[in-house]
Chains A and B, each alone.
Chain A
Amino acid sequence: MSNDPWIVVGALVVTTFLIKGAGSLVMGDRELPGWFPRFVEYLTPALLAVLVVTQLVGSAGAHGMTFDARLAGFAGALVAWRLKAPVPLVVLVAAVITALVRALS
């Protein structure tokens, strides 16, 4: 094997540092504009909603939407959440239902 893996690691480490640190590196000690907090207030729910959907019906290997046992697990977790179950239980419900549906189908 060539040195390629280490070159990839090095290149990705540099670009990731610059991207994740861009806010601080670009802004320095300047203040962000006044509208920025309001933008973030809308950005957070919008971004989290995107993550819920892409994690629920997306799939790394496939193009398009994938409807599988995750939906059953998610639905079960929603019920547990509405019933005010504690977070670990909600998560457990999701994983167990998903694994069960997979095992049975």
Chain B
Amino acid sequence: MTGTESEPTRPAPPTGRREAWAAGARAAVPFTVAIFAFGISFGVLAKGAGFGAIGATSMSGLVFVGSSQFAAVSVIVNGGGWAAAAVAGTLLNLRYLVMGFAILPALRGGRARRAVESQLVIEESWAIASDADGRFDRIRLLSSGVVLWLGWVLGTLLGAIGPFKAVDVLNYGLDAVSPVLFFLLLAPHLGTARKRTAAATAAVCAAALTAAGLPDAAIAVACLIAVAWTAKSR
């Protein structure tokens, strides 16, 4: 999508840039394996809910948020209407308000282009693009985002047209991969005592909210913690 930047007529990009493309894509690969498997599961679910292969695949390509799509389709599966399905999916997207603002300083170009590039933000690409100093690398966002997007879209397509009933990611331990990868992405952000206390407080709150059946509220609490820690650091 930003292919013009690597045209041979231009001066060779600085190695840092090419390395950033490769680093983002490489970091996305293990996530993509898990996302591909979840994509197959989503394709199977969407097919059962009356979404054709084209409908399911274009949903994955244009929405690109697994949890939101699962929520919307589950509402349909359970007999809900389209409005309830769209509201459920939208609510699960609200966390991208925060991530979208956070990554904004790294993006380039006009308003429309930045809005389009923001569509590649999901937790994985956002975390891969983040640097320990609170900045984000646009190239790592785009390269990891494209790799993850391909895995999600191709997985959905395979699930929707394939002979699968459901793919049990549990059999291969793939569901343990995500928390480990997020931990590996978290580790470089624990450089100061204040960042460590912010992370620890957020982890405790997330455990409590998960126990209470409200895991989605934990993202909002993480925001509040970040606000509180920012205010204290003045």
Contacts and interface: CB of A to CB of B under 8 A. Distances in A.
Interface of A: 1, 4-9, 11-13, 15-17, 19-25, 27-29, 32, 35-58, 60, 63-65, 69-70, 73-74, 77-78, 81, 87-88, 90-91, 94-100, 102
Contacts of B30: 87-88, 91
Contact of A38 (B55, B112, B202, B230): B230
A53 B210 contact: yes
B104 A77 contact: no
25 contacts: A1-B50, A8-B59, A8-B72, A11-B82, A11-B90, A19-B94, A23-B100, A23-B104, A24-B107, A24-B111, A24-B112, A37-B105, A44-B134, A45-B186, A46-B198, A49-B198, A49-B203, A53-B179, A55-B179, A70-B175, A77-B176, A77-B183, A95-B176, A98-B173, A102-B173
A15 B182 contact: no
Interface of B is mostly: helix
Interface of B: 30, 46, 49-52, 55, 58-59, 62-65, 68-70, 72-73, 76, 81-83, 85-86, 89-90, 93-94, 96-105, 107, 111-112, 114-116, 118-119, 121, 123, 127, 130, 133-135, 170-187, 189-190, 194-196, 198-203, 205-207, 210-213, 215, 218-219, 221-223, 225-227, 229-230, 233
Nearest to A27: B104
Contacts of B96: 16, 19-20
A5 B77 CA distance: 11
A67 to B, nearest CB: 11
Contact of A97 (B173, B200, B201, B205): B173
Contacts of B123: 51
| Most B Cβ at <10 Å: residue of A1, A7, A17, A49 | A49
B120 to A, nearest CB: 9
Contacts of B170: 102
Given A4-B81, A41-B134, A53-B210, A19 B101 contact: no
A20 B121 contact: yes
B201 to A, nearest CB: 7
Contact of B182 (A6, A19, A43, A48): A48
A94 B99 CA distance: 27
Contacts of B226: 39-40, 42-43, 46-47
B153 to A, nearest CB: 14
Given A23-B104, A49-B202, A87-B30, A5 B76 contact: yes
Contact of A19 (B86, B90, B134, B179): B90
B26 to A, nearest CB: 9
Contacts of A8: 59, 72-73, 76, 82, 85-86, 89
